[in-house]
Structure 1
Amino acid sequence: MKSIFSFLILFLWIQNLGFAQTILSGKVLDEKNQPLPGVNVFLKGTFDGASTDQNGSFQFETTESGTQLLAFSMLGFKSQEVVVELSAKTLEIPSLILKEEFNELNTVTISAGAMEASDEKKSVILRPIDIVTTPSAMGDIVGAFQTLPGTSTVGNDGRLFVRGGDASEVGIFIDGLRVGNAYGTTAGNVPTRTRFNPNLFKGTFFSTGGYSAEFGQALSSALALNTKDLAKRNQGDLSIMSVGGGYSHTLANDKRSITISGNIFDLKPYQAIIKQDFDWERAPFGRDLELAAQQKTAKGGLWKVLARTEAGGMQLWQPQPGESSRGMLIHLKNTYSYAQTNWRNGYENGWSLFGGISYSQNKDVLSLGGLDLERKSQLTHAKWTAGYDFSDRLSVKNGVEYFRNEYSEVLTKENLERTFEENQGYLFTEWDWYLSRKLVLRSGLRAGVSTLANEKWLDPRTSLAYKISENGTLSLAAGRFHQLPEERFRVLNPNLKNTESKHLLLNYLYQKEGKTFRAEAFHKSYDQLVRFEENLQNPQNVRNEGEGFARGFDVFFRDRESLKNTDYWITYSFVYSKRSYFQYTGQVQPDFAPKHNLSVVVKHFVPNLKSQLGLSWSFNDGLSYTDPNQPGEMNSKTGSFQNLSLSWSYLPRPNLIIHGAVTNVTGHQNIFGYQFAQAPNEQGRFESIPLGQGAPRFLFLGIFFTISKDKNANNLNNL
């Protein structure tokens, strides 16, 4: 028995020699040299390991030997591996520092002046489907964005006005390329729309100020529209509407897709039924044809092509103050073409490349009471950018751009012409530094040169964001922005220089569980604004002399959680703006900048009825105007603007959508200003006529039918 016992002891001793143990210990710190508890420390390929304690220390035993990999991992930090040699009974690992990991899920984003409208970002404000289902928008991209903070509704114009700025101060881009004449040409007091269908886009980026150095030639705002990538399926879409109709067909596979769309519209039948205050000789009409194609390249890139052509016109009698006749006949014909192609690719080595070129051409043939005028504008834009991620903490985007602008005006009967041509060049660089998961700094510089203005300029821009809580972010943005004057003024004086603005913004953004709250204060200064003598119809001595400012704040609240099947948002903006511009001798409140702007949008889905009901209400406190019967400039103000709109979207079958909407349900008498006679009457008063809505309300009815092998496919797939 004694010999057996001795044998067992010897066996266990020999076994212990064969499986010698090593004790590993050490400490893990963060980048501030503070202990990091909860780090998982283990030998790769084994079950041997431990977690660090409150002091950041760890210790564990292993029977492994030789060269091994010791791994350190923790959520929110970069994993690290250390080569260790297990040959001694104890092994002390030198203190190890884990670096924070930065990605879209755990880092702060800059929100000052920026509003994403995409289904790809955390900070979603509007999605494409929100745009087409906002009742007051009537499917217009800009109409939907007029319900967001910082914007003003100018009902007889239709374009986008941002924080005391004119509509010309908003730059519109498609896939990063500038769009010339993005709005349809129209007559005075007849609101216009953007030319492009929301179905083209997967998302948008709308800046109310302090925007990226990548964009230029916009004093107030940048609206960047991003087209969709590859289509998902073969599909045909037929639309029959109260104002026209169209058809779109898509062919798609895993590598490429192409969509061809055609539409016609004619308001003559509609206006024969719905009473109009306009005196139409020929109601607006038009047609368009559009092509969008996408192709995956061999090395993982994506190549896109977008082309559009359209033509239309109208004839309208516009009454004149003090005259009993029908007034002046305006005859307008417009043709427009836009084409662009772009390519982008991202690489595993951290590089991302983009290249593209766009071309816009607009031609207007006008007859204004016997004066025949032809205007033609062409814009070419080429752009190349290269981005590089040095690490998850530091990235850069550099770019070069070229613009060529050609513009002409011809009095056809008199055979008189005035034109200008010019070239512009730009370089920009923008750097993002993630100083921590709570603090990010963006700094950029944009340089430009104009051959016609014989001018060079440099625009520094910077933004800073700090995450003050789990759901709250505070952002600050500042920058300088330049924009050459509108073509109609540059053709009168080709030596006009850039207008300049400076932005300062402070923003707070809170997001949690389907709720978004956004508040922003801003100050914007203007310098070298365009001024002239006489009036806008006959400007004389056009020059850069004006100045001004806009300051205020806006708030936005959206809630998609509190009320079942309901999504709503509320926006309020206050803008105090003064500027010396155009023919005004002193600083005045512009006639496109109401002080108070309020909008409410509500959408409620009723599952049993397969319907979505929509409501939107817009309000502003009125627009300033000059009454020549009273002393001073911009001495009067219109009544408040109000517009209550309703919509109903019905899905009787998966491939059939019926959508109806009506604006200004209450029939509010909106007045946007007054047109005064050029000379006083016998009593010494300047007679006037109000500039109001062309119709008490607008009604829309559309039927959208989809043809596809997938019986559940419909137009919503495009949004």
Structure 2
Amino acid sequence: MNPRQLLFITFLLLQTQAFAQTSLHGQVLDERGMPLPGANVQIKGSYDGATSEQDGSFQFETSATGSQVLVFKFLGFKTQELSISLDTNSLQIPLVKLIEEITEMNSVTITAGAMEASDEKKSVVLRPLDIVTTSGAMGDIVGALQTLPGTSTVGNDGRLFVRGGDASEVGIYIDGLRVGNAYGSTTANVPTRTRFNPNIFKGTFFSTGGYSAEYGQALSSALSLNTKDHSLRTQGDLSIMSVGGGYSQTLANDNQSISLTANYFDLKPYQKLVKQDFDWERAPYGWDVELSAQQKLKKGGLVKVLARTEAGGMQLWQAQPGEDGRGMFVNLHNKYSYAQSNWRNSYENGWSLFGGLSVSSNKDDLIIDSIPLERKNLLSHAKFTAIKDFSDRISMKVGTEYFIHNYSEKLQLEKQERSFEEGETYLFTEWDWYLSKKLVLRGGLRAGNSQLAKQTWVDPRISLAYQISEFGQVSLATGQYHQLPIENFRVIDPSIGNSKSKHLILNYQYQKDGITFRAETFYKSYEDLITFKGNTNNPSQLQNAGSGYARGLDVFLRDRNSIKNTDYWISYSFVDSKRIYNQYETKVQPDFAPKHNFSLVVKHFIPTLKSQLGTTYSFNDGYKYTDPNQSGEMNSKTKSYQSLSLSWSYLPKPNLIIHFAVQNVFGRENIFGYSYASKPNEQGVFESLPTGQPAPRFLFLGIFLTLSKDKTANNLNNL
């Protein structure tokens, strides 16, 4: 063979090797072993690849050789890589199973006992805007929440009552930090409201039971309010109202914002125009100043500061059954301050950290029938939380918090004082396991220790949710909850211990195209409730001897889609609750727990009139009370509570809002119970007086003007 022939044969062999092809074939499945048609299979760094067929199989050829990486991609699943060696003409790829990628938007969420008001979560029941536009709520957060299932309207109180529990069983938090004395101070049978302006919050998480291990010291419910991360723009907001006025100035740039708000209210001019049923000596009045600031940090962190101080008071005569004259004179003056700061940051390694500190200070100066009384309450709360996302399947939350609680009562003339100081330590952990995007399991533990009660306890909690259809899911939650007694009991006997409740909740929720439907059944047991001899004004022999239960059904429907420009929701709750508590010796239905509760809220926007019309109708079947002229406890019941409220919001200009509202339009005389004389009269009858409303109806007119370079900005833009 001559050199020319040898060169030709060598060149031919090289060409054959250069164009040699390797055939790859295999199959792509999901975690359950079902085929994934349309999955992309490709050799990394090349254009060689294929798309899987209907049965998940794929096949393609490549000229690549040696060690390579095969990449598998499919929308909604985690990308997977497989190392291969291309040293044969045909390569069978091992069976490949892709894992679903779980995100907040495609995963099921736990809804048992949980209702959110947010613009950020997919499972919200209300939006922040709903809080201030609900007719009858008068801008009060709790007033809006009272239209949700699981709550009861107690018109002579104003606080939040949940599923057969009293208002003290609801824990209120701002940015995860406990708020002491969250409601304004008031006297007996004069309704109160929450202290904080709803405009500072971006979202609300309201649990009617079965709530997270992060929260404690609440037998029934947790209400968590989350402040805004950052204000949108620099602007001023002026409020002129029938009961007072205020001004807020916000300064903002890309990295920080600060808002300073001042308000003053005085119902004296209003009460001169509108007839009152209460005998006021001095109508309620007060002022407040609030500071809210946010600062973004260089590495993605955020620091928030919230501070508020306020003062106010009222004077009135409270008629006494069986007595002539104006009755008992009550003079109340209150000073309150709240301050908190918190920091949070998220890191690339999956850790998120949170730290915060809050202080609540409340002082009430009371004169009751010429007897001066001083009450002081100081609550300090420090909290640290760490969250670790190990993957999109497993997340862990751990934390610790410490409370310092100081409370005192002083009779000024007698110079008698009683007080207590308490330190409480808590540890908690909670784990979320996403077994698939349709099934999530959450387990938690919360441990607590009270120095004063000398008690240590552990509360297990567990919940799960399963998506049963494209738009429907079921959730189950159960757990144990402890709560130390309220201050006026602990100051009498500081060593008295916890009360305990256990929750079991089953929930179904359906959400599609602006329609939300919820149905929830629950059972709640009570143990170690506080009982005493005497009455609530002078209790004695306090002990943890009470028990009880609450069970029932909640139904909620919200529709923002079916009727043009109309948004409405309907709530119904049935609560069967009985307990031995306070001075009662038998199991009774509490006076704050009506069996049937119904609410209808409607909002309709009329574009041509630049107006939103709203109405709220509330109903319950009445309140139980004890008539000493009859035998037994809680032996009587008031007539049903009914209230129809109307509102009109008019936007003549984008930066100007005029709002008018009427509460209890028809002036229905709602009775919440009766007070009785301590002794019978000459005929042997205990005389009584009804406990009713301050006035047949309440009227409100407000003008809200926003001053900003952006002429379309208004108060609603803050929500």
1:654 maps to 2:654: yes
The unaligned stretches of length 5 or more in structure 2 are 1-9
In the alignment, which residue of structure 2 is the partner of 1:565? 565
Query: Partners in 2 of 1:388 and 1:17 — Cα distance?
Result: 52
Which residue matches 2:339? 339
Q: Quick check: 91-100 or 128-137, which moved more?
A: 91-100
- Aligned residue number for residue 174 of structure 2: 174
TM-score (norm 2): 0.97
The separation in 2 between residues aligned to 1:283 and 1:61, in whole angstroms, is: 88
Q: Could you tell me how far 1:323 is from its partner in structure 2? A: 2.0
Within 2, Cα distance between the matches of 1:627 and 1:451?
A: 41
Residue deviations 1:485-543, cap 9 Å, x none?
A: 00000001111100000000000011111100001000000011111111111111111
2:360 equivalent to 1:381: no
- The one-letter amino acid of 2:131's match is I
Partner-residue secondary structure (3-state), 1:488: helix
Residue of structure 2 equivalent to 1:53 = 53
The aligned counterpart of 2:404 is 404
**Which residue of structure 2 aligns with residue 423 of structure 1?**
423
Cα deviation code 1:641-700 (max 9, x no counterpart): 001001111111111111111010111110000111111111110111111111010011
Query: Does residue 1:550 correspond to 2:550, yes or no?
Result: yes
Query: Is the contact between residue 219 and residue 501 of structure 2 (CA under 8 Å) also seen in structure 1?
Result: yes
Query: TM-score, with normalisation over the residues of structure 1?
Result: 0.97
Match of 1:487 in 2: 487
Match of 1:216 in 2: 216
CA displacement, residues 309-329 of structure 1 (integer Å, 9 cap, x when unaligned): 000000001111122201111
Q: String of CA shifts for 1:97-118, please: whole Å, max 9, x gaps.
A: 2111111122111110101111
**Residue in structure 2 matched with residue 6 of structure 1 by the alignment:** none
- Output the CA distance in 2 between the equivalents of 1:454 and 1:279: 46
Aligned equivalents of 1:139, 1:34: Cα separation in 2: 52
Quote how far apart the aligned CAs of 1:23 are: 1.4
Q: Is the 8 A contact 2:238 2:706 kept in 1?
A: yes
Report matched runs for 1:237-386 at 5 Å: 237-386=237-386
1 CA distance for matches of 2:482 and 2:390? 31
User: Is the partner of 2:634 in helix, strand or coil?
Assistant: coil
Displacement, 1:19?
Answer: 3.4
Q: Distance in 2 between matches of 1:379 and 1:19?
A: 80
Q: CA deviation at 1:43?
A: 2.6
Q: Which residue of 2 aligns with 1:228?
A: 228
CA distance in 1, matches of 2:200, 2:402: 25
Matched, 1:496 2:503: no
SS in 1 for 2:136: helix
Give the conservation status (yes or no) of the 8 Å contact 2:671–2:690.
yes
Residues 436-495 of structure 1: CA deviation (Å, up to 9, x unaligned) = 121110000000000000000000000011111111111110000000000000001111
- 2:486 aligned with 1:519, yes or no? no
- Cα distance in 1, alignment partners of residues 175 and 165 from structure 2: 24
Q: 2: CA distance between counterparts of 1:32 and 1:186?
A: 60
8 A Cα contact 2:152 2:162, kept in partner: yes
* 1:122-151 Cα distance to aligned partner (Å, 9 max, x none): 011111110000011000000000000100
Instruction: Name the counterpart of 1:103.
Output: 103
Match of 1:696 in 2: 696
Helix, strand or coil at the partner of 1:417: strand
The CA distance in 2 between the partners of 1:468 and 1:283, in whole Å, is 55
Hey, what does 1:393 align to over in structure 2?
393
Contact persistence 2:204–2:224 (CA under 8 A): yes
Secondary structure of the structure 2 residue equivalent to 1:136: coil
Farther off after superposition, 320-329 or 698-707? 320-329
Asked if the contact 2:673/2:690 (under 8 Å) is kept, the reply is yes
Q: Are residues 1:529 and 2:529 paired?
A: yes
Offset, 1:14: 7.9
SS at match of 1:604: strand
Q: Which amino acid aligns with 2:205?
A: F
Deviations 1:401-427 (A, max 9, x none): 100000000000110000000100000
Show CA shifts across 1:386-405 (max 9, x none): 11011110110000010000
Query: Per-residue CA shift, 1:280-301, capped at 9, x if unaligned?
Result: 1100000000000101112110
Q: 1:407 corresponds to which letter in structure 2?
A: Y
Amino acid at match of 2:643: N
Cα distance in 1 for partners of 2:467, 2:712 equals 42
Secondary structure of the structure 1 residue equivalent to 2:672: strand
Return the alpha-carbon distance in structure 2 between the equivalents of residues 534 and 12 of structure 1. 111
Alpha-carbon shift at residue 631 of structure 1 (Å): 0.6
Report 1:1-20 matches (<5 A): 17-20=17-20
Q: Tell me if 1:156 matches 2:156.
A: yes
Distance 1:263 1:272 in 2: 21
Letter in 2 for 1:448: G
Instruction: State the alpha-carbon separation in 2 of the partners of residues 316 and 503 from structure 1.
Output: 41
Structure 1: distance between partners of 2:549 and 2:83: 62
Rounded to whole Å, the distance in 2 between the matches of 1:75 and 1:593 is 50
Query: Would you say how many aligned residue pairs link Structure 1 and Structure 2?
Result: 711
Residue 4 of structure 1 corresponds to none
Deviation at 1:46, TM superposition (A): 4.0
- 1:111-126 alignment runs, 5 A limit: 111-126=111-126
Aligned AA (1:389): D
Note the 1:56-135 alignment, pairs <5 A: 56-135=56-135
Structure 1 residues 627 and 95, CA gap change in structure 2 (3 angstroms): same
What is the Cα deviation at residue 38 of structure 1? 3.0
1:466 matches 2:466:
yes
Greater CA drift, 408-417 or 291-300 = 291-300
Give SS of 1:125's match: coil
Identity of aligned residues (%): 70
> Following TM superposition, by how much is the alpha carbon of 1:49 offset from its aligned partner in structure 2, in angstroms?
2.2
SS of the residue corresponding to residue 101 of structure 2 reads coil
- For residues 61-101 of structure 1, what are the alpha-carbon distances to aligned partners after superposition, in whole Å with 9 as ceiling and x for unaligned? 23344554322111221111223344433222222221111
Counterparts of 2:682 and 2:137, CA distance in 1:
45
Compared CA separation, residues 268 and 33, structure 1 to 2 (3 A):
same
The residue aligned with 1:145 is 145
Deviation at 1:55, TM superposition (A): 3.4
Secondary structure at 1:446's aligned position in 2? strand
The one-letter amino acid paired with 2:655 is: N
Question: Is contact 2:232-2:718 (8 Å) kept?
Answer: no
Asked if structure 1 preserves the Cα contact closer than 8 Å seen for 2:468 and 2:474, the reply is yes
Q: Give the residue type in structure 1 aligned to 2:274.
A: I
How do 1:633-712 and structure 2 match up within 5 A? 633-712=633-712
User: Which segment is superposed worse, 138-147 or 430-439?
Assistant: 430-439
Which residue type is aligned with residue 147 of structure 1? T
Distance 1:266 1:69 in 2: 75
2-structure distance, mates of 1:679, 1:43: 93
Larger CA deviation: 28-37 vs 676-685: 28-37
Task: Return the letter of the residue paired with 1:456.
Answer: T
**Aligned alpha-carbon RMSD (Å):** 1.5
Could you give the per-residue CA deviations for residues 543-564 of structure 1, whole angstroms, max 9, x where no partner exists?
A: 1110000000100000011011
Contact 2:246 2:264 in 1 (8 A): yes
Per the alignment, residue 7 of structure 1 pairs with none
Question: Which structure 2 residues correspond to residues 178-217 of structure 1 after superposition, within 5 A?
Answer: 178-217=178-217
Secondary structure in structure 1 of the residue aligned to 2:129: helix
Task: Give the counterpart letter for 1:508 in structure 2.
Answer: Y
Structure 2: distance between partners of 1:34 and 1:603: 47
SS of equivalent residue, structure 1 residue 130: helix
Residues 641, 671 of structure 2: 8 Å contact kept: yes
Q: Using the alignment, how far apart are the partners of 2:257 and 2:66 within structure 1?
A: 56
Change (3 A) 1:12 1:593: farther
1:195-241: CA deviations, max 9, x gaps? 00000100010000000000000000000000001111111000000
Cα separation, 2, equivalents of 1:146 and 1:307: 27
Partner amino acid, structure 1, of 2:659: H
Q: Secondary structure at the match of 2:701?
A: strand
Matched residue, 1:574: 574
Cα deviation, 1:583-608, whole Å, max 9, x if unaligned, reads 11100000000000000000011111
SS class of match (2:271): helix
Shift of 1:33: 3.8
Residue type at the aligned position of 1:216: G
AA aligned to 1:623 is: Y
Q: CA deviation at 1:385?
A: 0.5
Cα offset, 1:34, TM superposition: 4.2
Separation in 1, partners of 2:475, 2:356: 32
